[in-house]
Amino acid sequence: MARHGGERSWYGKAVGAALGVTMLAVGASVWTAQAGAVGGPSPQATASAKPDAAVERVSAEIAHASDKGPRGVNITIDDGPDPQWTPQVLDLLREYGVKATFCVTGIQAQAHPDLVKDVVAAGHLLCDHSVSHDTTMDKKSEEYQSREILDAERMITEASGGVRPLYYRAPGGAFTPYSRELAASRGMRPLGWNVDTKDFERPGADAIVETVERELPNGPTLLFHDAGGDRSQTVEALRRVLPRLAEQGYEFGFPVR
């Protein structure tokens, strides 16, 4: 899993506009779960809506494998939700009967709670992608890492209507032993990737598809983005990749927990 940080520049603008207000609202709070939370139709998602005392620790090892086994593929979508591109991605996933894992930031979840609810209602799983997508988190204090992870967990859970994220993906892969242990203690498996499509660089849909085909032997977890700029190339690439993988006998699943 190579580090990537191509999305950092757009977050600088988004955070500059929103983080001040967000962090005033968020503070340094520790997430408090809501009993009787609302779940979507996915059994996994429904099971994740637990009271705080019932949160179960998971492995702190970075997950890459698929719960569908050797022919499994995990579609993961980062940085949203985005009001223009997330609905298009959801439509494609629905068309091809694919479930995915959405790694959402606290800021975007707070800004677009209806989209977070749409993701859950469609049976997809949620992943904590920090509050502000700071790709230098691994260079910051443990207190800072804790705020970014726990406040995002709370913001995402509130936006979803009570469904907790089941994974934690560090922005740009900036994991630390502390952040992995903290996420695991909150029931969020650290989540890596095997195929970085580089779609955030907008290399063209052909190049994105070629990257998937070339790097899929590296492992089953594919990284795409539904926010951070024009994602039309990502949408077009998914339109080609999803049926092609199905034709090749792959089964779409979720990362192991």
pLDDT tens-place string over residues 219-245: 999 999 999 999 999 999 999 999 999
Residues of the chain above pLDDT 70, percent: 79
Cα 108-122-52 angle, rounded to 5 deg = 65
Determine whether 225 is an active site residue.
yes
Catalytic site residue from 129, 199, 225, 226: 225
Lowest mean pLDDT among 3-12, 89-98, 207-216: 3-12
In words, the CATH class of domain 57-253 is: alpha beta
Per-residue pLDDT, 122 = 98
Report the alpha-carbon distance of residue 238 to residue 227 in Å, rounded. 15
- pLDDT of residue 27 exceeding 90, the answer is no
- pLDDT of residue 83 exceeding 80, the answer is yes
Catalytic site residue from 78, 82, 196, 226: 78
Distances (CA, A) of 45 to 5, 48, 164, 207: 29, 5, 8, 33
Per-residue pLDDT of 154-197, as tens digits, reads 999 999 999 999 999 999 999 999 999 999 999 999 999 999 99
Report the largest interatomic distance among the alpha carbons of the chain, rounded to a whole angstrom.
Answer: 49
Per-residue pLDDT, 136 = 97
Q: Where are the domains of the chain?
A: 57-253
pTM, full prediction: 0.83
Residues of the chain above pLDDT 90, percent: 79
Encoded amino acid at 37, one letter: A
Cβ neighbour number for residue 216 with a 10 Å cutoff: 17
Please report which confidence band the pLDDT of residue 53 belongs to, taking 50, 70 and 90 as the band edges: low
Determine whether 134 is an active site residue.
no
